[in-house]
Chains A and B, each alone.
Chain A
């Protein structure tokens, strides 16, 4: 059953390549990127119970890790991905350390502070030569190989889909396995998990690293698709958007992350179509209404529909 579903999903994901063009395909590419970024956040917050309001910072690190080598050193896009993963993983691991001691609100503050600080650090004169300072950096998106016969928008969609698909599969595997169960055990009852011999510190920091890598990959893709990075692209509002995407899609759900990505990209446009004078009011209202109807996100609805009688253990991180 599962391989069939996967195949159907793949076909569905590839369909837009021929159905959509230009602007719409570009928009969908960005939605795929947001979905990937939300997935990264979901790993640490949804599956490991550590609240992060600062994943935009990892997104930014990933974007610059791709933009700097591409723009200044003429690297190919593909070559920057491992570098970006390495850097984001290291940063995520480092952020995981204060997280060991801090829970709940304190962690929310720490991560939010990170989101606020990163744009300032990018602008600082010590790193300006590499980051381009307030002016940012320009780069060129990778070109499609001749034999593929795809235009740049189609190719970028394919690239984003490929990277996101691989990340989603790896994450799903990780979460289904031993590590995933350990992560959830730490979320649901840390004291019991520790009593059973789990190394809380190592699980938490490593989860942060994995989560940062996934969100960082989304940042890398975003830099290539937009062909421009600047500190203003990565304000704390981005972090909040990712958080909204996670909550709306479903905390602790892989499929929910896909929906979250679509939500944060398309609903602002919907809000704008309703009211030009105050789109933020409409967006906020849609968000709240959504949470009223589906308090545990789209994934919660799907879960309720598919598992009729099984009791769902509480998925609320403490």
Chain B
């Protein structure tokens, strides 16, 4: 049974990685009703920026917050420069732009920062593992950070007028404009916040998986699955979904089908759940009218 506990905890640790990226996806969805497929690459870029600052001698937390600001600006600029020209185009065109961004950012990251695997420092240092070799301090610390971000996101959307305005702008831009919300700026703000949350995810993920330009390539799919499983319009649902995907995938790999098919099986289960509950486990059910 000891092995099972270890698997479970390894799954929760991996799930924490998905949960943090899933949060960034929820953020952008709440603010723009899009899922940004380049979110992972943007987070990787932010992490490289943070590493560059740390290597230049800045203390960790200074670099951390500076990266948040830089990422926010990059996100808002991306909205202004890349999304604005296609704002009235069909949704599939937007996906095309996301794919273009993904190609540009991932290729540029490798070109600028190199491809070798790099260690990324964690603020939660410890020698070895805690609690009888079950978890590392970093895993605990990064989970706490993810939960803190979650609470901030929840408070922002539920209890600030800015958050409400942002949701309104995404949900019904025309009506929002009529009540005086500056929809364009709300979108830019949403992109900026999503990029900042993504950079937190990147900086929390990198110490665990090591940093290279393709760090987020696989993670984004799992995070996407987690967000949808929990409900993409519900931040806490998305976080729970991320953890569930991590656990599900690890247990399937260890006990059900072997590691070769664990991704496949995890995805099949998720799709099965979605077929039964199309808006995710904790998502809002939407009715359509003629």
Q: Decide whether A and B are members of one complex.
A: yes
The listed residue (A116, A192, A240) touching B221 by CB distance below 8 A is: A116
Chain A 172-210 residues near chain B, CB threshold 8 A: 189-192, 195
A291 touches B107 (CB 8 A): no
**Which B residues touch A279, using CB under 8 A?**
107
Instruction: Kindly state the separation between the CA atoms of A248 and B96 in the bound complex, as whole angstroms.
Output: 8
**Which A residues touch B160, using CB under 8 A?**
none
Instruction: Kindly state the separation between the CA atoms of A175 and B170 in the bound complex, as whole angstroms.
Output: 34
Instruction: Kindly state the separation between the CA atoms of A124 and B260 in the bound complex, as whole angstroms.
Output: 7
Decide if A123 is an interface residue (CB 8 Å cutoff): yes
Decide if B275 is an interface residue (CB 8 Å cutoff): yes
- B105-135 CB mask vs A (1 if < 8 Å, else 0) is 0111001000000000000000000000000
Chain B 265-290 residues near chain A, CB threshold 8 A: 267, 270-271, 274-275, 278, 288-290
Interface-facing stretch out of B63-71, B87-95, B150-158, B190-198: B87-95
B101 touches A113 (CB 8 A): no
The listed residue (B86, B111, B232, B278) touching A281 by CB distance below 8 A is: B111
Determine how close the nearest CB of chain A comes to the CB of B66; give it in whole angstroms. 25
Decide if A24 is an interface residue (CB 8 Å cutoff): no
Decide if B184 is an interface residue (CB 8 Å cutoff): no
Determine how close the nearest CB of chain A comes to the CB of B107; give it in whole angstroms. 3
Determine how close the nearest CB of chain A comes to the CB of B195; give it in whole angstroms. 18
**Which A residues touch B267, using CB under 8 A?**
113, 116-117
Chain B 246-274 residues near chain A, CB threshold 8 A: 260-261, 263-264, 267, 270-271, 274
Determine how close the nearest CB of chain B comes to the CB of A71; give it in whole angstroms. 23
Decide if A16 is an interface residue (CB 8 Å cutoff): no
A195 touches B290 (CB 8 A): yes
The listed residue (B35, B92, B107, B263) touching A284 by CB distance below 8 A is: B107
Main secondary structure of the interface of A (DSSP, over half): helix
Q: Please give me the residue from chain B that is nearest to A293 by CB atom.
A: B85
Instruction: Kindly state the separation between the CA atoms of A317 and B94 in the bound complex, as whole angstroms.
Output: 13
Query: Quick one: given A243-B95, A278-B108, A285-B100, are A295 and B275 in contact (CB under 8 Å)?
Result: no
- B53-95 CB mask vs A (1 if < 8 Å, else 0) is 0000000000000000000000000000010011011111101
B93 touches A296 (CB 8 A): yes
Determine how close the nearest CB of chain A comes to the CB of B110; give it in whole angstroms. 8
The listed residue (A106, A247, A280, A288) touching B278 by CB distance below 8 A is: A106
**Which B residues touch A220, using CB under 8 A?**
none
**Which A residues touch B86, using CB under 8 A?**
291-292, 295
Instruction: Kindly state the separation between the CA atoms of A101 and B271 in the bound complex, as whole angstroms.
Output: 10
B103 touches A291 (CB 8 A): no
Determine how close the nearest CB of chain A comes to the CB of B281; give it in whole angstroms. 13
Query: Quick one: given A106-B274, A117-B267, A123-B260, are A291 and B104 in contact (CB under 8 Å)?
Result: no
Instruction: Kindly state the separation between the CA atoms of A106 and B288 in the bound complex, as whole angstroms.
Output: 16
- Size class of A's contact patch? 35 or more
Decide if A304 is an interface residue (CB 8 Å cutoff): no
Decide if A163 is an interface residue (CB 8 Å cutoff): no
**Which A residues touch B107, using CB under 8 A?**
278-281, 284
Main secondary structure of the interface of B (DSSP, over half): helix
B92 touches A101 (CB 8 A): no
Decide if A120 is an interface residue (CB 8 Å cutoff): yes
Decide if A255 is an interface residue (CB 8 Å cutoff): no
The listed residue (A112, A195, A317) touching B92 by CB distance below 8 A is: A317
A292 touches B85 (CB 8 A): yes
The listed residue (A45, A51, A243, A280) touching B103 by CB distance below 8 A is: A280
**Which A residues touch B261, using CB under 8 A?**
120-121, 124
**Which B residues touch A295, using CB under 8 A?**
86, 88-90, 93
Instruction: Kindly state the separation between the CA atoms of A123 and B263 in the bound complex, as whole angstroms.
Output: 13
The listed residue (B221, B275, B289) touching A112 by CB distance below 8 A is: B221
Instruction: Kindly state the separation between the CA atoms of A110 and B91 in the bound complex, as whole angstroms.
Output: 18
Query: Quick one: given A120-B260, A295-B86, are A247 and B104 in contact (CB under 8 Å)?
Result: no
A51 touches B102 (CB 8 A): no
B111 touches A284 (CB 8 A): no
B228 touches A284 (CB 8 A): no
Decide if A306 is an interface residue (CB 8 Å cutoff): no
The listed residue (B35, B92, B106) touching A251 by CB distance below 8 A is: B92
**Which A residues touch B88, using CB under 8 A?**
295
Instruction: Kindly state the separation between the CA atoms of A125 and B258 in the bound complex, as whole angstroms.
Output: 11
**Which B residues touch A105, using CB under 8 A?**
35, 228, 232
A291 touches B100 (CB 8 A): yes
Chain B 217-231 residues near chain A, CB threshold 8 A: 221, 224-225, 228
**Which A residues touch B100, using CB under 8 A?**
284-285, 287-288, 291
Q: Give 7 A-B pairs besides A116-B267, A240-B99 with Cβ atoms closer than 8 angstroms.
A: A45-B92, A117-B263, A124-B261, A195-B290, A284-B100, A288-B96, A291-B93
Residues in A lying within 8 Å of B, measured CB to CB: 45, 51, 98, 101-103, 105-106, 108-110, 112-113, 116-117, 120-121, 123-125, 189-192, 195, 240, 243-244, 246-248, 251, 277-281, 283-285, 287-288, 291-292, 295-296, 315-317
* Sample of 14 A–B contacts (CB below 8 Å): A98-B275, A101-B275, A110-B271, A110-B274, A112-B221, A191-B288, A243-B95, A243-B96, A278-B111, A280-B104, A287-B103, A288-B96, A291-B89, A316-B92
